[in-house]
Structure 1
Amino acid sequence: MTIQLRYAHVTVTDVEESLGFYRDGLGLEIQNDVSYGGFRWATLGSSDQEGLGVVLSTPYAGRSQEDGDALQELLTKGVLSAVAFRVDSVDAVFEKLLASGAEVMQEPSDQDWGPRDCAFRDPSGNTVRIEQG
């Protein structure tokens, strides 16, 4: 049996604003950009990892009002799960995201457990870790 991760969902307050971080800052490519039923979501990926997509959508896309409200509250608090990316040069990506105005949580540093990494908040407040690998 073969199993692979296909999508990772990241809840954002505004898809367009988030594209500036994930597409322009991180360099992910838009695979799909859909408007349907008054909502929009975008799937981004990298040719370095074919078949895996990061889906950006708002709390209410495909959810009930009650569920969307609950997810929006967690997003506003900044307590949703973090997303982590592996890159060739954490310092180069750090400088690119810093120049874009992204909020720095942690500058590049060598961790006691091994990797060199840094962390940012995306425009919606999600934690995004960048690890050199």
Structure 2
Amino acid sequence: MAPAPRSASITCSIHSSFLPHTDADASLAFYSDVLGFEVRLDIGGGRMRWMTVGPPGQDTAIVLHPLFEGNGITPEENAVLASLIAKGSYFGVNLAAEDLDATFAALEEAGADIVQEPIDQDYGLRDCAVRDPAGNLLRIQQSA
């Protein structure tokens, strides 16, 4: 069956994505001080601290939220999620930079956890990869 045609009255954009943090202060420092994102919201405290960060001049944002048990997540499931996050294989986000090599050099100088140096991919992009303080994988590609 073919999908229904898109309604002309619906227009959506990406508002925010969610990434877990395991250390609120380290995550906030990484996204604001290293990546240069604006801190738009910082609420809660302790294990329940939620922060919203985003690139200056853009409406999109990343919500940095705590990884916690509850709402149907058992301690065992929480441990599995924490291990997947720590090695960068559960959550992630793709970013773009006007000067990938300069961005990579700044990330390296800031002590970011480097996963992949800038490389020309077979599928036509040039990108690199790092992990944030929680282990979330960030792929950064050269802007077109």
TM-score, normalising length: structure 2: 0.80
Question: How many percent of aligned residue pairs carry the same amino acid?
Answer: 39
Structure number with larger C-alpha Rg: 2
Cα 1:88–1:62 shift into 2, 3 Å: farther
Partner of 1:19: 28
The amino acid across from 1:98 in the alignment is E
Q: Which moved more, 1:41-50 or 1:99-108?
A: 41-50
Partner of 1:57: 65
Partner Cα distance (2:26, 2:67) in 1:
15
Partner Cα distance (1:56, 1:63) in 2:
18
Report the 3-state secondary structure (helix = DSSP H, G, I; strand = E; otherwise coil) of the residue aligned with 1:49.
coil
Count the aligned residue pairs. Answer: 132
Unaligned 5+ segments in structure 1 are none
In the TM superposition, what whole-angstrom CA distance separates every residue of 1:3-56 from its partner, at most 9, and x where no partner exists? 111110001111110122211111111011111696101100123422x11011
Once superposed, what is the RMSD of the aligned Cα atoms? Answer: 2.1
Unaligned 5+ segments in structure 2 are 1-9
The amino acid across from 2:17 in the alignment is A
- Whether 1:82 and 2:83 are equivalent positions in the alignment is no
TM-score, normalising length: structure 1: 0.86
The amino acid across from 2:58 in the alignment is Q
